[in-house]
A and B are shown apart, each in its own frame.
Chain A
Amino acid sequence: MKASHRAVVLAAVLAVLALAPAPGGNRALAVKPDEMLADAAMEARAREISKGLRCLVCQNQSIDDSDAELARDLRILVRQRLKAGDSDEAVFRFVVDRYGDFVLLKPPMKPVTYILWFGPLLILLGAMAVLVFFFIRRRGTPITASPALSEDDLARLEALLDGDRDEREEP
């Protein structure tokens, strides 16, 4: 590539970067203007509901975030239900009836999900019980567990310490 060409390419790249929105700025919305409701309060409810509904195509995005076609269809459906006078709960129920609890990003509290909600707490309690058990047992153990030194041991120890001292005194 010639130097002049390179300069043109660089200028084009810089121009594109200058036009691009700053990160964290006005991020492109998945929700398109033509989907939005005229009633601002109802639109706000629709946005809140959409944020709680999983996009089953992409699974870890809500339908409010997702560009998938099914997400768009469901966003429109949520708005239709609201316009028809459904409460927020009724809209959630409408979608759950068709797609199951998995469509809710916040899992409901019911017997099959108890392990999900309480599992971490149980593990924490279990770990605390184990710790407490070990600490209590350790407190019961006397610190001077080893038997007292015999006469011979004391004499050997004395000799060793003396030797050490001698070495230090005459370098």
Chain B
Amino acid sequence: MRLVYIIPLAVFATVAAAFGVGLTLKPNIVPSALIDKPVPEFTLAGLPGAEVELAEGFSSADLRGRVSIVNVFASWCFPCRIEHPLLMRLARNPKVRIFGLNYKDRPEDARAWLKELGNPYHRIGVDREGRIAIDWGVYGVPETFIIDAGGRIRYKHVGPITPSDLDEIIVPIIDRLSE
């Protein structure tokens, strides 16, 4: 058989392979524009009426000096409930501090949420208007950022964290950044 007759088959195989790879991609996960950039400048008020530490809030300066996690959550967000036990588990990891960005939530709902499910957060910042979240490029809840000790965003996870996300992606990144 002459080689020319292979060409259509080769073209088809290439296109099919490209589409096959395309099917495995998740178009709803948009890569963050902020990877390796310093965290945006902000100051967020804490959760009024909560215990002292959570009432304090946090700012960009608090995210320097140690590896941190910023987790965008809301009490109305159902997937947040799914990932919450994993955040509780991560909170026991001494290498990292978790900051909660409470997105478009009512303080009383957020307090009730923490009371019911437990508090994994070192500090909480309340973003009622969602304005600070826009500076973080947030387009859904939950989203989770890993920030290195220099205050740079190194990783962003969109959607609820699953056990394999935690063990295979997030914890290894924290370990690497802590070295």
Which A residues are within 8 Å of any B CB, using their own CB? 56-57, 59, 69-70, 73-74, 77, 96-102
13 A-B Cβ contacts within 8 A?
A56-B140, A59-B27, A59-B28, A70-B140, A73-B129, A73-B131, A74-B134, A77-B131, A98-B34, A98-B135, A98-B137, A99-B33, A100-B33
Are A56 and B33 in contact, CB atoms less than 8 angstroms apart?
no
Give the B interface residue count (CB, 8 A).
17
**Is B130's CB within 8 Å of the partner chain A?**
yes
Main secondary structure of the interface of B (DSSP, over half): loop
Partner of A99, one of B27, B130, B137: B137
Per the 8 Å Cβ criterion, residues 27-63 of B in contact with A are 27-28, 30-34
Are A99 and B139 in contact, CB atoms less than 8 angstroms apart?
yes
Are B140 and A57 in contact, CB atoms less than 8 angstroms apart?
yes
**Is B136's CB within 8 Å of the partner chain A?**
yes
Chain A neighbourhood of B31, CB < 8 A: 100, 102
CB distance from A64 to the nearest CB of B (A): 17
Partner of A70, one of B27, B32, B136, B139: B139
CB distance from A83 to the nearest CB of B (A): 15
Chain A neighbourhood of B34, CB < 8 A: 98
Q: A56-B30, A59-B27, A73-B130 are in contact. Are A100 and B139 (CB under 8 A)?
A: no
Chain A neighbourhood of B129, CB < 8 A: 73
Are B30 and A98 in contact, CB atoms less than 8 angstroms apart?
no
Are B134 and A73 in contact, CB atoms less than 8 angstroms apart?
yes
Are A70 and B130 in contact, CB atoms less than 8 angstroms apart?
yes
Are B33 and A77 in contact, CB atoms less than 8 angstroms apart?
no
Chain B neighbourhood of A70, CB < 8 A: 130, 139-140
- Look across to chain B and name the residue whose beta carbon is closest to the beta carbon of A133: B4
Measured between alpha carbons, how far is A69 from B129 in the docked complex, in Å?
11
Are B32 and A100 in contact, CB atoms less than 8 angstroms apart?
yes
Measured between alpha carbons, how far is A59 from B131 in the docked complex, in Å?
20
Measured between alpha carbons, how far is A73 from B31 in the docked complex, in Å?
21
Interface string of B122-148 (1 = CB under 8 A from A): 000000011100111101100000000
Are A77 and B30 in contact, CB atoms less than 8 angstroms apart?
no
Are A77 and B134 in contact, CB atoms less than 8 angstroms apart?
yes
CB distance from A19 to the nearest CB of B (A): 34
